[in-house]
Amino acid sequence: MRHLGYAVTAHRAQGITVDTAHVLVEPTTTRENFYVAMTRGKASNRAYVVLDRPDPTHSAPHPADNEEATGRSVLFGVLQHSGAEVSAHETITAEQDQWGSIAQLAAEYETIAAAAQHDRWATLICISGLTDDQAEAALGSEAFGALTAELRRAEANHHDLDTLFPRLVAARGFDDAEDVAKVMHYRLARATAQPAGSGRTRKAPRLIVGLIPHATGPMTSEMRQALAERRELIEARADAILDTALHEKDPWTNALGKTPADERGAARWRRLARTVAAYRDRYNISDDAPLGPVPEAASQKIDRSRAAAALRRLAPPREEAQDPARRSPVGLDRQGPSL
């Protein structure tokens, strides 16, 4: 039996969790309200974009209608429309309020990235060696979004997807596959779990504040600018979170150790510490332990492992145990009695 819910505003929906959410999106919707509305459903969240406003008489289009509007253009405009007021205070706390949480900004970044790279990933899937029916099924699958997110993560790990993805397609058939996109997501995740290369040739992943994969490749200048703006906001937010925690001597900062005295070491320390701060803000960690409890969600586990790696690199090197064979004999440095 299905149970019908009630229509509520985005403000009223804050704190509410439902099985499925259906969101009506208008050109006047702000990105903050859009984010709240699109994160209420546990199983799915669907957006219905309004492209016109019918005249009450239904005799003519509404004067404010944009005949060239598309669902994508309206959503892009929504993501550009911030309803947050800019604070005039220059304190760290005010900066946090201004930038918004990393959870929200990361969601905005990933939403824009998905739109910016959609055609590119769709083309890659279509020319990867899948049959036309398989490619069409993959593009229409509910797992398509997860697959494109995995493609973005793999590219941030410096994998050559134009070569790798067709190889993964050819590795095994899809005769018994119920969902081609899910199968390819699984194969890709396993093949690209580590950055490309090995040893000294391995490059560090391209991650924003050590957590969020960069979206790269061809895209419109508007999309690229929107992504750059979100990246700057995420970095500013992480800096503000870290500075506040250090200023207030939050217990979790004890695990960060002391800031090195040299400039290069201090810059490295701050970069790693910022990753831990960003993880805490993204997942609303309030524990005294720097990373909080072990999460259940796979996506958070990935970010937690990145933050944990940053913590390990922040730990001061242990002093090497002195080799007993190289120790001075007992009493060698003592001055004997004078004769």
What pLDDT, on the 0 to 100 scale, is given for residue 335? 41
Residue 232 covered by a domain:
yes
Assigned domain for 285 exists: yes
- 202 lies in some domain: no
Residue 78 falls inside a structural domain = yes
- Whether residue 173 lies inside any domain: the answer is no
Task: Name the E strands within the chain.
Answer: 18-25, 41-49, 207-208, 212-213
Decide: helix, strand or coil at residue 89. coil
The tokens describing 262, both together, are 């040299």
CA atoms within 13 A on the CB side of 141: 24
- Which residues in the chain come in under a pLDDT of 50? 1-6, 11-12, 14, 55, 58, 62-64, 86-90, 94-96, 98, 319-339
Over residues 93-142, the pLDDT tens digits come to: 544 454 588 998 999 999 999 999 999 999 999 999 999 999 999 999 99
- Within a domain: 48: yes
The whole-angstrom separation of Cα 316 and Cα 65 is 62
Kindly state the tokens that stand for 236. Answer: 């500013």
Residue with tokens 């990235």: 113
**Among candidate residues 66, 83, 100, the one where a domain is terminated:** 83
Last residue of a domain, one of 64, 83, 102: 83
Residue 24: strand, helix, or coil:
strand
Residue 298 domain-assigned (yes or no): yes
Q: List phi, psi (to 5°) of 22.
A: -120, 115
Range of the domain at 56: 8-83
Number of domains in the chain: 2
CA atoms within 13 A on the CB side of 124: 25
In a domain, 19, yes or no: yes
Supply the pLDDT for residue 45: 86
pTM of the model: 0.65
Among 32, 49, 83, the domain boundary falls at 83
